[in-house]
Amino acid sequence: MINRNFYRTFSFLIIFSILLYTVCPYAQPNSGTLDLTIEEKNYIASHKEPIKVGYVQDRIPVSFTGENGELSGISRYIFDHLSDITGLRFNYVGLPSGEVTYDYLLNEKFDLVTSVEYNKENQKARGILISDPYLSSRKVVVAKDDIEFRYDADLSVAIPTGSQTIRKVLGAAYPNFELIDYVSIADCFDAVNTGKADLMIQNQYVAEYLFSKPKYEDLQVIPVIGLDDQLCFSAVVAFKDTKGPSPEEGRILIDILNKAIASMSEDEIGTYTIQGIMENQYKLTIADFLYRYRYAVMTLAVAFAVILILAALLVRQRIRFAESKADAKAKGEFLSTMSHEIRTPLNGLIGLNYLMSQRLNDKEQLTKYIQQSTTTANYLLSLVNDILDTSKLQAKKLELILKPVKLKHLLDTTSSLVSNAMTEKGLTFIVNSDTVYPYIMADETRIQQVLLNLLDNARKFTPEGGSISLDLKQNEAEDKTILNTITVSDTGRGMSEEFQKHIFDVFSQELGTVSKGNQGTGLGLYICRSLALLMNGDLTVESSKDKGSVFTFTFKAAPAEPPYSDNKEKTVNNQKHPRILVAEDNELNGEILMELLNDEGFEAKLAENGKKAVYIFASSDIGTYEIILMDLLMPEMDGFEAAKAIRAMDRADAKTVRIFACTANSSSEDRNKALESGMDDFIAKPVNIKDLIDKLSN
């Protein structure tokens, strides 16, 4: 890598050389300085029309089509020099990708082809007139880091179509190599990068340019001793009865060019080479940026997707407000609050995105910004969940998932989630639990949702030095169920009697809470009380201004026996991870899932839709896949039909393979439909990574 000081020094030397070249006419070579024959002078004088030159368009920085649509790079500098010293004029035309036939060159009336690989014997055998080399460099091997380049190895080599010289050289020097044609040099690089070919051999300057692309960061360069890349010119002449320039005309042109090439010093060629490399360095594109920082981009993409979903939900909710008889003031306050709740993290994400783009090479700062983006995205996700819960509760479609719950363990787990935040604010946090019935049949997730909301509110509205307590009591109710009473008390600022009348209304907030930094949507307490009512209980509050508040959460539940897993000794699973087939049509979600599974040691394969998943499973050996992660809504065949098709197959593992629905459609109808179609379990998106890995590992 050339540093900035060297580049400034080198640029100064170049400018100085150009000035010296300009003010010293005797130092400027021209056709008069060449020892030309009368025949050669007559050739130059008779060529009023420019000589048509064909060039390869993808060999940056040697020869390529520049932004001006003309030949650019090292070859162009050399051609301009040759034109100055010979008096010949040239017209440059890019050659098409792939193999270019000699008939094509004749039919298109080309006079000359540049950047031809020099091989005197090969060119003579093909009857082609070539010049002496005008540019030399090393050839290098490009391969993956784990590929070992040996002369006797059985390796596949990617070469550009039409590279006859390199094909002949490799065939003679490395007889065990399998040569595979690709249209362009970039295609050869991609083939090596994706493992379709083991290696490629290319001009050092071209290889170094392409190595600047982030997607080739896993490739290595291996110098090859004794295999140089010498570029020359080839005259296009008509042999036998074909129409076109005669061999004699081609010979004269080549002789002139050889004399001009011989007159060029090594310093001049070196100057053109460095100038061509420095002026045509690879510039990172948006696609390169997205690839290099793909994980950060994925995080931002998820965050923006959440924002779009949230916006759609807000529009839908707003329509419902307009159709309802809700108080106009409450609606206005809700929209204002939601606007604040969305714009604040959105402004943060936009700012973080800008900061990341300004600090691409600062890994420490980028890591910090990614972590902040993740936190902000999680907050936006919580807003979406609140709105979805509110919608389900109002439509009476939210259902509880009952299972044996150890209530004291649930309180301890919940307390541990908030204890650090309490300590950081300087609050005293006390937990008291009096459990008579250790296990109850309840929805553990929804109970924890209520407790976390109540505890977080207490923390926000309790000043430093205050205290918060969480207390549990159990009693047997008249209907033989267990009445569970949980109170959350704080010594915070309390609330007015007027606000207490509306505290559990949807979108309700006490005036001034946002301005004082305790922002919220006004949905949390409405959701908590609705969940309490759904559990045959209630949520009430007692509060006094500047003295604190006491929230009482009650719910009923049947007693339960400890689950079987708690009664047996846990064993360590030392078995290898199961192989997984992932059916996911969303490219971003599929890439994220595959990255996560690979990082955790799972072997996974991606299917773009349900139909492809069925085909892959049917084509695999019995027992190849032990788990299938199945999205529900996919093109060609959805997840429900794919699960049915797999279960109906006449093979031993069709009934035993575990199929998990992995989808953003988390309604009870979708859950039931998934189980009816033959799936074993249901994983809702966005996926909790730890829970997913635990489920797959078990």
For residue 164, what is the enclosing H or E element?
helix 164-173
**CA-based nearest residue to 620, from 632, 635, 603, 636:** 603
**Which residues, in sequence order, are CB contacts of 244 under 8 Å at separation 6+?**
106, 109, 236, 237, 238
* Bridge partners of residue 668, in order along the sequence: none
The residue to which tokens 């209530």 are assigned: 407
| Mean pLDDT score across all residues of the chain | 80
The amino acid that residue 99 corresponds to is: E
Query: What pLDDT, on the 0 to 100 scale, is given for residue 329?
Result: 55
The residue to which tokens 């008069």 are assigned: 32
Q: What percent of the chain has pLDDT over 90?
A: 25
Compute the distance between CA of residue 633 and CA of residue 612 in angstroms, rounded to an integer: 14
Compute the distance between CA of residue 253 and CA of residue 50 in angstroms, rounded to an integer: 13
Which range of 198-202, 354-358, 380-384 scores highest in mean pLDDT? It is 198-202
- Residues 684-698, mean pLDDT to the nearest whole number: 74
Quickly state the pLDDT bin for 126 (edges 50, 70, 90): low
pLDDT digits (tens, 9 = 90+) for 249-285: 889 999 999 999 999 988 898 898 888 888 888 887 7
pLDDT digits (tens, 9 = 90+) for 389-421: 677 777 777 888 889 999 988 888 888 888 888
Tell me which of 72-86, 209-223, 454-468 is least confident: 209-223
Its pTM stands at 0.42
Query: What pLDDT, on the 0 to 100 scale, is given for residue 250?
Result: 87
The amino acid that residue 27 corresponds to is: A
pLDDT digits (tens, 9 = 90+) for 10-41: 444 444 444 343 333 333 434 447 889 999 99
**CA-based nearest residue to 485, from 415, 434, 438:** 434
Query: What pLDDT, on the 0 to 100 scale, is given for residue 472?
Result: 94
Quickly state the pLDDT bin for 557 (edges 50, 70, 90): very high
Which range of 101-110, 120-129, 170-179, 216-225 scores highest in mean pLDDT? It is 101-110
* pLDDT > 70? residue 516: no
Query: What pLDDT, on the 0 to 100 scale, is given for residue 487?
Result: 95
Compute the distance between CA of residue 412 and CA of residue 405 in angstroms, rounded to an integer: 13
pLDDT digits (tens, 9 = 90+) for 55-75: 988 888 999 998 888 999 999
* pLDDT > 50? residue 528: yes
* pLDDT > 70? residue 345: no
Compute the distance between CA of residue 107 and CA of residue 104 in angstroms, rounded to an integer: 5
Helix and strand tally (H, E) in the chain? 23, 24
Quickly state the pLDDT bin for 510 (edges 50, 70, 90): low
Query: What pLDDT, on the 0 to 100 scale, is given for residue 258?
Result: 92
pLDDT digits (tens, 9 = 90+) for 127-181: 678 899 988 888 888 888 778 777 778 889 988 887 776 777 777 777 888 888 8
Gyration radius of the chain over CA positions: 37
pLDDT digits (tens, 9 = 90+) for 91-106: 999 988 777 788 888 8
Higher pLDDT, 623 or 162: 623
* pLDDT > 80? residue 347: no
Are residues 469 and 492 in contact, defined by beta-carbon separation less than 8 angstroms? Answer: no
Burial class of residue 432, CB neighbours in 10 A (0-12, 13-18, 19+): exposed
Are residues 233 and 250 in contact, defined by beta-carbon separation less than 8 angstroms? Answer: no
* pLDDT > 50? residue 359: yes
Quickly state the pLDDT bin for 344 (edges 50, 70, 90): low
Quickly state the pLDDT bin for 335 (edges 50, 70, 90): low
Query: What pLDDT, on the 0 to 100 scale, is given for residue 5?
Result: 43
Are residues 250 and 236 in contact, defined by beta-carbon separation less than 8 angstroms? Answer: yes
Quickly state the pLDDT bin for 441 (edges 50, 70, 90): very high
Are residues 681 and 661 in contact, defined by beta-carbon separation less than 8 angstroms? Answer: yes
Burial class of residue 276, CB neighbours in 10 A (0-12, 13-18, 19+): buried
For 656-677, give one letter per residue: b (16+ CB within 10 A) or e. ebbbbbbbebeeeebbebbeeb
